[in-house]
């Protein structure tokens, strides 16, 4: 074997190695950012009792004066938030709210009121084995719902919003409008809701107002972060 042959073989091996490295670096690339897939099942139980996980009234942002609702008042407040209530006739029927209990460890609420604007901020903690993805799908299908109850008719419309970033298993945001009576003579209430799910506890914070205009977004987002953190750190 001559020196020239040996040199050619070594050069060939170097070329092959360089080509292999180049080919390895020429694979397809995908632009964008990784997306977190929402959980499709609830797999963790939060052991603490729900009333203990509510934010303290002092944690509500000013000027909202807050109280923890007594358990007998919770079912009525829940009906105000979903605009439907239990026992109402809902069309389409598939959009009726899911049945739930109102025992202390099924649902707990605290409500803060602005004495000037009469707007409210409500924190609701709900124990559920339904993933938030199921609620998101239901709201997507039920953008407009007709509700009849005790001779009164209302229209409930829901629009999904971009959810805020908080440390929860899944997050959902939407705006809901409840209109009752005839156009121009009826009563309208508007609600902006943020929901985060942590294990089997669904944390909802809702700003509700009967006045026109934008919500108190700063207070809504601040209270939502506080409520989610308290459940997460338990």
Tokens of 35: 């997306």
Residue pLDDT, tens place only, 18-49: 334 333 444 444 444 344 566 778 989 999 99
Residue pLDDT, tens place only, 38-80: 677 898 999 999 999 999 999 999 999 999 999 999 988 988 8
State the pLDDT at residue 79.
Answer: 84
DSSP alpha helices (H): ranges in 28-147?
50-53, 71-82, 132-141
What are 128-131's contacts with CB under 8 Å, separation 24+? 128/42, 128/100, 128/200, 128/201, 128/202, 129/42, 129/200, 130/42, 130/98, 131/38, 131/39, 131/40, 131/41, 131/42, 131/170, 131/197
State the pLDDT at residue 114.
Answer: 97
State the pLDDT at residue 67.
Answer: 97
Distance CA 91, CA 179 (A): 15
- Domain map (residue ranges) of the chain: 50-232
Please tell me the class of the 50-232 domain. alpha beta
Tokens of 60: 């509500």
Query: Which residues of the chain carry a pLDDT beneath 50?
Result: 1-4, 6-8, 10-12, 14-35
* Closest listed residue to residue 106, CA positions, set 49, 66, 172, 68: 49
* Closest listed residue to residue 55, CA positions, set 153, 124, 152, 158: 124
pTM: 0.81
């Amino acid at each position: 074997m001559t020196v020239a042959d040996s040199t050619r073989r070594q050069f060939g091996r170097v070329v092959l190695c360089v080509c292999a490295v180049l080919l390895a670096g020429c694979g397809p690339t995908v632009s964008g950012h990784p997306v977190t897939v929402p959980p499709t099942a609830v797999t963790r139980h939060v052991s603490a009792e729900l009333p203990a996980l509510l934010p303290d009234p002092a944690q509500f942002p000013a000027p909202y004066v807050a109280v923890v609702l007594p358990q007998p008042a919770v079912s009525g407040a829940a009906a105000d938030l979903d605009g439907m209530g239990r026992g109402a006739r809902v069309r389409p029927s598939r959009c009726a709210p899911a049945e739930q209990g109102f025992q202390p460890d099924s649902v707990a609420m605290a409500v803060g009121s602005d004495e000037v604007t009469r707007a409210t901020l409500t924190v609701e903690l709900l124990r559920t084995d339904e993933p938030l993805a199921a609620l998101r799908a239901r709201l997507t299908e039920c953008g407009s719902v007709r509700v009849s109850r005790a001779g009164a008719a209302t229209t409930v419309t829901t629009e999904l919003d971009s959810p805020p970033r908080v440390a929860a298993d899944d997050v959902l945001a939407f705006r809901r409008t409840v209109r009752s009576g005839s156009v121009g003579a009826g009563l309208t209430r508007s609600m902006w809701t943020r929901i985060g799910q942590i294990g089997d506890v669904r944390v909802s914070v809702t700003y509700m107002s009967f006045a026109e205009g934008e919500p108190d977004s700063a207070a809504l987002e601040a209270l939502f972060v506080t409520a989610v953190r308290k459940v997460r750190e338990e």
